[in-house]
Amino acid sequence: MPSTLLVYLHGFRSSPRSSKAHKTGDAVRALSNKENPIEWYCPQLFASPKQSMDMVSNYIDQSGADSIVIIGSSLGGFYANYLAERYACKAVALNPAVRAARELAPHVGMLTTYDNDEPFDFRPEYIDELKALQVEKITSPERYFLIAAKGDEHLDWKEMVEFYEGANQLVLEGSDHGIADYGNYLYKVLEFISK
């Protein structure tokens, strides 16, 4: 029977413990059944973009799933573009950092994670790694679903809308970078990945 691997990629300084990851994981596990088994994979990403994508790509390559869906939030959305192009699969981008190298260049140095204040070193070479992963243009917009919040305090929703031209798009009036009201739109994510 066909199986699906659903990969959820958290954002910069975030973790698999984020509320969006939890809500999505619970909903996906509830969707999974014998006729439509869905494997949930939500790893802790490394500070190094290359190391992160190597880890996720290796997991995907070994999964043996019939189909792959990537969901990514913020920096995870940037990674989702890279993986969706590499594997020609569906992707859901939640307030994605479409130009991650530019957005994160000012954050090089010692930082902490949001949920447990664990320190990590975001090195200058990681900006080059992000540049190497940059997707300039998505090739099959119909494979993508963008949720962009006009109230995003970190990223420009207009840039997202332009980048995902032709894709399925849900532009939220207000909201914020973390999409605090994500639970209201989760059903649309599930609809898209179930198509």
User: pLDDT digit string (tens) for 25-63?
Assistant: 999 999 988 888 999 999 999 999 999 999 999 999 999
pLDDT at 193: 92
The Cα 15–Cα 37 span in angstroms is: 25
Average pLDDT of the chain, as a whole number: 95
CA pair distance 112, 119, nearest whole angstrom: 4
CB-CB contact of 101 with 131 (8 Å): yes
In the chain, count H helices and then E strands. 7, 8
CB-based burial of residue 27 (10 Å sphere; 0-12 exposed, 13-18 middle, 19+ buried)? middle
* Segment 91-146, tens digit of pLDDT: 999 999 999 999 999 999 999 888 888 888 999 999 999 999 999 999 999 999 99
CA angle 182, 96, 92 (to 5 degrees): 65
| Choice between 118 and 10, residue whose per-residue pLDDT is larger | 10
Angle ∠(11,56,71) on CA atoms, nearest 5: 45
Predicted confidence at residue 35, as pLDDT, reads 86
pLDDT confidence of 1, banded at 50, 70, 90? low
Band (pLDDT 50/70/90 cuts) for residue 195 is confident
